[in-house]
Structure 1
Amino acid sequence: MSSEKPLRILIVEDEILIALELESLLQDLGHEVVGMAASSEEALSLGQKLRPDLAFVDVHLADGPTGVDVARSLSANHRVTVLFMTANAKRIPEDFAGAWGVIAKPYTERGVREALSYVMVGQLREPDEARTVTFVPFGAALRERSSQIS
């Protein structure tokens, strides 16, 4: 990924150790973590202020199962591409628009790297649609969509 423009990333995660680990991984992969939020209110404020390219959003935050609402707002109001992180993908509505996929917790470096590559290819190939794509589950369906982009 070093030859591509680094993504500016917002992490929305209420578990600080997970957030710090993800921050370190994203930086190691050559991206810039522009902010970290532990609550929905903080996430929305940082999304407006920082205008990240991408947000990793935990579905269930400490202030309630508000990750889906945060993602909707970031996507619709600030054109932020969203990747969900969750241990339970069933919490994400099937018809949710605005997210590129979901990364299962506990996540792996490979899973994060593949998700980032997928997002970056989508942003390069579909600049007007890259931030408002219908939810695609991470995994087989994600690989299927990726082959359609090529």
Structure 2
Amino acid sequence: MSAEKSLRILIVEDEILIALELENLLQDEGHDVVGMAASSKQALTLGRDLTPDLAFVDIHLADGPTGVDVARHFTNELGITVLFMTANAKRIPDDCAGARGVIAKPYTERGVREALAYVMAEQDEEQPNRTMTFVPFGALSREDSSSLS
């Protein structure tokens, strides 16, 4: 299965097996994974140098809970769309650090596909004030603009 439009994606995840599994899934969906980072320093460098369309960002990285700072820099300074992918959703600030949504770990392929479709539709519609929580196990996804936007 491939996407209609290919996105350039940066994976910011310190657990290598999760990063590699996500990379394979994204490539199977027809997207280009331009890089992977395990720390905030690596992520900021790759974000600046590679200018991806989208970044999947974990909250807790190799150098601590720095994913929120990475997301905030990506969205505010570089204009990169961010999706959090984390088991630590409670650490996401009320403003969501500019991220467009959250994929809860453990994630499913269906959840990642739904998140990609959401981001791509949002880019086409240009509705920048919506956020989405993608529930694990593909049970349901819901808009929660009151607590995530």
Measure the CA separation in 2 of the matches of 1:85 and 1:123.
Answer: 19
| 1:94 CA displacement | 1.7
Q: Contact between 1:98 and 1:135, CA under 8 Å: does it hold in 2?
A: no
Name 1:48's counterpart in structure 2: 48
- Does structure 1 residue 78 correspond to structure 2 residue 78? yes
TM-score w.r.t. the length of structure 1 is 0.86
Name 1:110's counterpart in structure 2: 110
How far does the alpha carbon of each residue in 1:14-71 deviate from its partner, in whole angstroms, 9 at most, with x for none?
0000000000000000100000001000000000000000000001112010000000
Q: Contact between 2:58 and 2:85, CA under 8 Å: does it hold in 1?
A: yes
Q: Contact between 1:55 and 1:83, CA under 8 Å: does it hold in 2?
A: yes
SS in 1 for 2:82: strand
1:25 to 1:3, Cα distance in 2 relative to 1, 3 A: closer
1:30 to 1:106, Cα distance in 2 relative to 1, 3 A: same
Measure the CA separation in 2 of the matches of 1:21 and 1:84.
Answer: 16
| 1:97 CA displacement | 4.3
Count of aligned residue pairs for this structure pair = 139
1:65 to 1:135, Cα distance in 2 relative to 1, 3 A: farther
Measure the CA separation in 1 of the matches of 2:19 and 2:29.
Answer: 15
1:28 to 1:3, Cα distance in 2 relative to 1, 3 A: closer
* Percent identity over paired residues: 71
Measure the CA separation in 1 of the matches of 2:72 and 2:86.
Answer: 16
TM-score w.r.t. the length of structure 2 is 0.87
Aligned counterparts, 1:67-146, within 5 A: 67-126=67-126, 130=128, 133=129, 135-138=131-134, 139-141=141-143
Q: Contact between 2:69 and 2:97, CA under 8 Å: does it hold in 1?
A: no
SS in 1 for 2:33: strand
1:3 to 1:112, Cα distance in 2 relative to 1, 3 A: closer
Name 2:138's counterpart in structure 1: none
1:96 to 1:134, Cα distance in 2 relative to 1, 3 A: farther
Task: Report the aligned-residue RMSD.
Answer: 1.8
| 1:134 CA displacement | 5.8
- Unpaired runs of at least 5, structure 1: 145-150
Name 2:38's counterpart in structure 1: 38
How far does the alpha carbon of each residue in 1:82-131 deviate from its partner, in whole angstroms, 9 at most, with x for none?
000111211101222411111011110000000000000000110xx54x
